[in-house]
């Protein structure tokens, strides 16, 4: 009997989790914010539709990268431009909530189609997330509140029920929440199997790269190995615990707060822009009715007025009400979509990317310089030895196998740790670390092999063994060539007397 009661309780709690009814304010915010962010790069690519997404250009389909050939049809340039314009129109209608489900069904499917046509540039992590969320919005009631559809429905209703907020099952919001829980948990599992992430090496290379947008703060953060290692562990712990905290009364504030801070920091540290905003806008699906009520009370106390935010949908609804009674709303949507399609085809014709209209034939490709071409195909120029190394520092503390601090002042008896980090890929190397005094006399030499799978090497010295107070250099050599050097000063009482006749103390 207890087993049956437990099973019944589990079933009831699962039903409440997915089918409890609430006003879909969180979904409405996702509906307005996420497509707006996703449209930013897609609108910028409108001027290159023929190149990226049509048979007249050079699309690289996702299936091709996995050796499965071209599964999707590659359409002529005008047709691709027409569908692209339809996608933009549909997603904009979804933002305003006009024929919401139809808009997201059409816009979401076309968004996935164009992303899969250009797996090199268009398809990214954020576009994959956005694709899933757009499909969830297409089967949800995201247009039940704060939308053109909601305004029209409220004005059409005459029995007084429009005064009450619409309540619908919460399962579409739960799907978005579960999606992010799975994303973070899967990312944590991947990181756990990557030792270079916990040592901070991966993060360091991301921070100093400018693959996205400039990130000067990231370059400063890369100089603190201890901070990178601590951040790595915090990130993994947060990703693992996110699914267990996201639906707890207090835990979700911690999980979502840390997540929002993490994604916002990637703007300044990694130069990302679209990805963090895609993720943070999806966090709005976690908002509940009580959260919206609390936000409204806070805005009233701060005397902030946002009634103007609803003016676009109200004005749009007023214009739609002026249509003839015999014309359905779906007809208006289709008519506007046709205008967007025709306008997109005309814009593609006017842009004339390949110069066919202006020159009567496609523009000829400029001939590449033969020397540059040979260098790109098979460069035989030897890589400089110092270019194989990312950094060289000295300190006294190690965390997770990495040098955690930088020092240039040491006391007699301290342990000096020198560490070099290498740029992958590299061949097997013989690396030496040499200690020299102010007169460049060699005090000590240590060497080790660094195999091609290693990204760093460490050398340790006990100052009390061979050094007396004074100024020294730690010199890094690779294949007999000096790569870098770091100065340090040793103070304290001399443990060993230095010979006066110039003899070396090793």
pLDDT tens track for 261-316:
999 999 989 889 999 999 999 999 999 988 888 888 888 888 877 777 778 888 98
Contact 112, 127 (CB under 8 A): no
Residue 172: closest CA among 140, 131, 133: 140
CA distance 476 to 424: 18
**Alpha-carbon distances of 332 from 184, 377, 483, rounded to whole Å:** 41, 55, 70
Q: Which token pair is 260?
A: 């929002």
**Lowest mean pLDDT, pick from 111-125, 172-186, 389-403:** 389-403
Q: Quickly state the pLDDT bin for 64 (edges 50, 70, 90).
A: very high
Q: What is the pLDDT of residue 2?
A: 66
Q: Can you give the residue ranges of every domain in the chain? A: 11-345, 387-491
Contacts with 135 (C-beta within 8 Å, 6 or more apart), sequence order: 104, 108, 112
Length of the chain: 506
Average pLDDT over residues 173-188: 96
**Alpha-carbon distances of 436 from 81, 411, 442, 444, 475, rounded to whole Å:** 67, 17, 5, 7, 7
Question: Cα angle vertex 212, ends 210, 213, to 5°?
Answer: 80
Q: What is the pLDDT of residue 476?
A: 95
Select, from the ranges 56-70, 79-93, 219-233, 368-382, the one with the highest average predicted confidence (pLDDT).
79-93
Q: Which token pair is 63?
A: 């299936």
CA distance 31 to 303: 26
- 3-state DSSP assignment of residue 165: coil
For residue 360, is it left (φ>0), alpha (ψ between -120 and 50) or beta?
left
Contact 144, 24 (CB under 8 A): yes
Count of Cβ atoms closer than 10 Å to residue 134 Cβ: 26
Q: Quickly state the pLDDT bin for 260 (edges 50, 70, 90).
A: very high
Buried-exposed string 424-446: b where 16+ CB fall within 10 A, e elsewhere? eebeebebbbbbbbeeeeebbee
Give the torsion through C-alpha atoms of 250, 255, 258, 263, to 10 deg.
-140
Contacts with 389 (C-beta within 8 Å, 6 or more apart), sequence order: 420, 421, 422, 423, 476, 478, 483, 484
H or E element at residue 402: strand 402-403
- What's the pTM value of the predicted model, to 2 decimals? 0.85
Contact 450, 429 (CB under 8 A): yes
pLDDT over 70 (residue 497): no
Q: Which token pair is 157?
A: 């209703």
Select, from the ranges 11-25, 54-68, 127-141, the one with the highest average predicted confidence (pLDDT).
127-141
Q: What is the pLDDT of residue 501?
A: 45
Q: What is the pLDDT of residue 503?
A: 41
Contacts with 475 (C-beta within 8 Å, 6 or more apart), sequence order: 433, 434, 435, 436, 482, 484, 485
Q: What is the pLDDT of residue 110?
A: 98
Q: Quickly state the pLDDT bin for 33 (edges 50, 70, 90).
A: very high
Select, from the ranges 79-83, 204-208, 385-389, 399-403, the one with the highest average predicted confidence (pLDDT).
79-83
CA distance 166 to 142: 11
Give the CA radius of gyration of the chain: 31
**Alpha-carbon distances of 427 from 200, 453, 454, 478, rounded to whole Å:** 22, 9, 10, 12
Please give the share of the chain, as a percent, with pLDDT higher than 70.
Answer: 95
Q: What is the pLDDT of residue 299?
A: 84
pLDDT over 60 (residue 48): yes
As a CATH number, domain 387-491 is 2.60.40.2550
Contact 362, 354 (CB under 8 A): yes
Average pLDDT over residues 309-324: 86
Residue 398: closest CA among 417, 412, 413: 417
Q: Map tokens 């039903």 to a residue.
A: 15
**Lowest mean pLDDT, pick from 3-7, 40-44, 260-264:** 3-7
Q: Which token pair is 379?
A: 């460069």
């Amino acid at each position: 009997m207890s087993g049956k009661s437990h099973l019944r309780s589990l079933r009831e709690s699962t039903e409440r989790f997915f089918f409890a009814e609430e006003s879909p304010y969180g979904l409405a915010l996702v509906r307005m914010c996420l497509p707006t962010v996703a449209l930013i790069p897609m609108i910028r690519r409108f001027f290159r539709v023929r190149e990226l997404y049509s048979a007249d250009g050079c699309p690289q389909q996702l299936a091709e990268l996995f050796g499965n050939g071209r599964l999707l049809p590659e359409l002529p340039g005008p047709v691709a431009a027409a569908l692209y314009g339809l996608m933009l129109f549909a997603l904009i209608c979804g933002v305003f909530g006009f024929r919401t489900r139809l808009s997201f069904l059409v816009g979401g499917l076309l968004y996935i189609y164009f992303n899969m046509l250009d797996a090199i540039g268009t398809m990214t992590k954020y576009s994959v997330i956005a694709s899933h969320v757009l499909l969830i919005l297409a089967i949800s009631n995201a247009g039940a509140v704060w939308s053109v559809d909601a305004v029209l429905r409220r004005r059409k209703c005459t029995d007084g029920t429009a005064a009450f907020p619409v309540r619908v099952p919460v399962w579409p919001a739960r799907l978005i929440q579960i999606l992010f829980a799975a994303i973070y948990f899967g990312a944590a599992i991947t990181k756990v199997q990557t030792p270079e992430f916990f040592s901070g090496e991966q993060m360091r290379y991301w921070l100093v790269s400018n693959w996205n947008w400039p990130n000067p703060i990231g370059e400063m953060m890369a100089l603190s190995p201890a901070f990178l290692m601590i951040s790595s562990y915090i990130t993994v712990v947060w990703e693992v615990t996110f699914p267990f905290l996201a639906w707890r009364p207090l835990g979700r504030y911690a999980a979502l707060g840390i997540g929002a801070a993490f994604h916002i920091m990637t703007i300044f540290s990694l130069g990302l822009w679209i990805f963090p905003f895609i993720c943070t806008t999806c966090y709005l699906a976690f908002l509940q009715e009580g959260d919206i009520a609390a936000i409204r009370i806070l805005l009233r106390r701060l005397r902030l007025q946002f009634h103007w935010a609803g003016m676009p949908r109200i004005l749009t609804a007023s214009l739609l009400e002026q249509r003839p009674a015999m014309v359905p709303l779906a007809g208006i949507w289709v008519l506007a979509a046709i205008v967007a399609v025709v306008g997109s085809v005309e814009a593609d014709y006017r842009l004339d990317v390949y110069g066919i209209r202006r020159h009567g034939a496609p523009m000829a490709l400029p001939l590449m310089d033969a020397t540059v071409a040979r260098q790109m195909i098979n460069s035989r120029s030897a890589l400089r030895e110092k270019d194989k190394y990312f950094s060289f520092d000295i300190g006294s503390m190690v965390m997770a196998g990495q040098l955690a601090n930088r020092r240039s002042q040491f006391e007699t008896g301290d342990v000096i740790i020198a560490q070099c980090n290498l740029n992958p890929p590299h061949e097997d190397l013989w690396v030496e670390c040499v200690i020299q005094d102010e007169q460049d006399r060699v005090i000590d030499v240590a060497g080790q092999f660094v195999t091609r799978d290693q990204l760093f090497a460490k050398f340790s010295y006990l100052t009390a063994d061979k050094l007396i107070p004074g100024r020294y250099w730690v010199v890094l050599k690779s294949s007999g060539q000096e790569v870098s050097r770091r100065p340090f000063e040793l103070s304290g009482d001399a443990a060993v007397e230095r010979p006066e006749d110039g003899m070396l103390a090793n």
